[in-house]
């Protein structure tokens, strides 16, 4: 599916992010800015396929107004918190197996090649799922089963802040030059667009439902399968 970034789509086989496959994003820090890169496709996938967006092991609590401004449904964000690598891997696999989950982002800083292969196979079994694994930049020297690996660097010193994307691995010939993408609007503009364009109420600004051991705070309207996943987590 399209990344919504034309300069990137033209460099990717099929013209966008592959579905039913592992997409590996390598970043200099766990909270490095990758949202401008992935949010358009996540919102489009959620609207076309329905279901929830699962965030596994994200370093910070998802910020609902910014997600809503990008088109993500705030009542269909599943925040799965886990620290152990095995727990994150298990949660990502369960989310991929859930028909009520449209896309999965998993922060996997200590995943092994065998772990990544398990996720890639789980995504392939699902067939239409969108799966991103976020890993540290130093993992670039390690082998990976992901058919697409992208190293994401920020260039804040430029006149217009950009993301520099190095396509480390793709189907087809290698790409010598990086792809440069303009980053999203300042946070104040995102919030203004969210409030003005979508009529954000106090209830809409509440944090998305979280799932962690010992808690069953869920939104049942998203689907029974997602509720079972949240309770299991």
At residue 175, does pLDDT exceed 80? yes
Report the C-alpha gap between 159 and 209 in whole angstroms: 38
Going from the N-terminus, what domains does the chain have, and what CATH number goes with each? 6-232 (3.40.50.300)
Q: In the chain, what percentage of residues exceed pLDDT 90?
A: 51
Question: Which of helix, strand or coil describes residue 33?
Answer: coil
DSSP 101-142: EEEEEEE-TT--HHHHHHHHHHHHHHSS-EEEEEEEGGGGGS
Pairing type for strands 148-155 and 162-169 reads: antiparallel
The pLDDT of residue 6 is: 93
At residue 111, does pLDDT exceed 90? yes
**Residue that wins the pLDDT comparison between 208 and 79:** 79
Q: In the chain, what percentage of residues exceed pLDDT 70?
A: 75
The pLDDT of residue 156 is: 61
- pLDDT tens by residue, 187-233: 444 444 444 444 444 444 444 334 433 333 334 344 444 444 544 44
Q: Calculate mean pLDDT across residues 140-166.
A: 83
At residue 186, does pLDDT exceed 70? no
**Residue that wins the pLDDT comparison between 184 and 21:** 21
**What burial letters (b/e) apply to 133-167, b meaning 16+ CB within 10 Å?**
bbbbeebeeeebbbebbbbbbbeeeeeeebbebbb
């Amino acid at each position: 599916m399209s990344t919504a970034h034309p300069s990137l789509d033209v460099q990717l086989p099929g013209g966008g992010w592959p579905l039913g496959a592992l997409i590996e994003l390598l970043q200099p820090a766990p909270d490095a800015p990758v949202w401008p890169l992935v949010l358009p496709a996540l919102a489009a996938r959620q609207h076309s396929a329905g279901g929830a967006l699962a965030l596994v092991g994200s370093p910070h609590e998802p910020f609902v107004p910014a997600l809503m401004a990008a088109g993500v449904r705030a009542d269909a964000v599943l925040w799965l918190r886990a620290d152990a690598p095995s727990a994150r891997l298990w949660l990502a696999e369960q989310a991929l197996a859930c028909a009520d989950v449209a896309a999965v982002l998993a922060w996997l800083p200590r995943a092994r090649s065998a772990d990544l292969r398990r996720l890639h196979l789980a995504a392939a079994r699902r067939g239409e799922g969108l799966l991103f694994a976020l890993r540290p930049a130093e993992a670039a020297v390690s082998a990976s089963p992901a058919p697409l690996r992208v190293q994401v660097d920020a260039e804040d010193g430029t006149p217009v802040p950009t993301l520099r994307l190095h396509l480390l691995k793709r189907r087809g010939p290698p790409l010598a030059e990086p792809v440069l993408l303009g980053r999203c609007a300042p946070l104040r503009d995102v919030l203004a667009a969210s409030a003005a364009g979508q009529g954000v109420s106090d209830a809409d600004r509440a944090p998305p439902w979280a799932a962690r051991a010992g808690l069953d705070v869920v939104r049942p309207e998203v689907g029974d399968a997602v509720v079972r996943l949240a309770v299991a987590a």
